[in-house]
Amino acid sequence: MKAHATGERRGRSSGLSNVREYAAAEEAGQSWITGFRKLVASPATVTSNWLDLTYSGGSPPANFYASEPLVAAEVEADKGIYVPTVSTADQYLHRLTLMALAASATTTSANNTPFMLMDYLLYYPFIDTDAAGEEQLLDNTVTIPRYDAGQVIAIAQSASSAVGQFTMSYTNQDGTAGRTSQNTFTLATITGGGQSLISNASAAGTLPFVGLQTGDTGVRSIESVTFSVAGGGLVCLVIVKPLMRGIMPQVSRRTTSSNLESYGSAAQYDMILHQARPPKLEAGAVLGLMLRGDGGSLATTNFVGILETMWN
**288/120 Cα distance (integer angstroms):** 7
Q: What pLDDT sits at residue 106?
A: 59
Percentage helix, strand, coil, to 5, in the chain? 10, 40, 50
Helices (H) and strands (E) in the chain, counts: 2, 20
pTM of the model: 0.90
Provide the domain count of the chain: 1
Answer yes or no: are the C-beta atoms of 54 and 79 closer than 8 Å.
Answer: yes
Answer yes or no: are the C-beta atoms of 146 and 7 closer than 8 Å.
Answer: no
For residue 173, CA distances in Å to 3, 157, 183 come to 11, 27, 20
Q: Which of 175, 65, 70 is nearest to 120 (CA)?
A: 65
Q: Which of 280, 271, 287, 241 is nearest to 13 (CA)?
A: 280
**96/308 Cα distance (integer angstroms):** 6
60 upstream amide cis, omega within 30 of 0:
yes
**69/189 Cα distance (integer angstroms):** 21
**40/297 Cα distance (integer angstroms):** 10
The span from the first CA to the last CA of the chain, in angstroms, equals: 28
Q: Which residues touch 115 (CB under 8 Å, ≥6 apart)?
A: 98, 245, 246, 247, 248, 289, 290, 291, 292
Q: Which residues touch 7 (CB under 8 Å, ≥6 apart)?
A: 148
CA 126 to chain centre: 18
Q: What pLDDT sits at residue 49?
A: 84
Identify the H or E element spanning 272. helix 271-274
214-227 as b/e, with b when 16 or more CB fall inside 10 Å?
A: eebebbbbbbbbbb
Q: What pLDDT sits at residue 293?
A: 83
Structural domain that includes position 202: 2-311
Question: pLDDT of the chain along its 312 residues, tens only?
Answer: 343 333 333 334 456 888 899 999 999 999 999 999 999 888 878 778 889 999 999 999 999 999 999 999 999 999 999 999 998 899 999 999 999 887 666 555 677 889 999 999 999 999 999 999 999 999 999 999 999 999 999 998 988 888 899 999 999 999 999 999 999 988 887 666 677 777 777 766 678 999 999 999 999 999 999 999 998 889 999 999 999 999 988 877 776 676 776 677 889 999 988 888 899 999 999 999 999 888 778 888 899 999 999 998
The number of C-alpha atoms within 13 Å of 30 and in the hemisphere containing its C-beta is: 19
Q: Which residues touch 237 (CB under 8 Å, ≥6 apart)?
A: 123, 124, 127, 152, 153, 154, 155, 168, 210, 222, 225
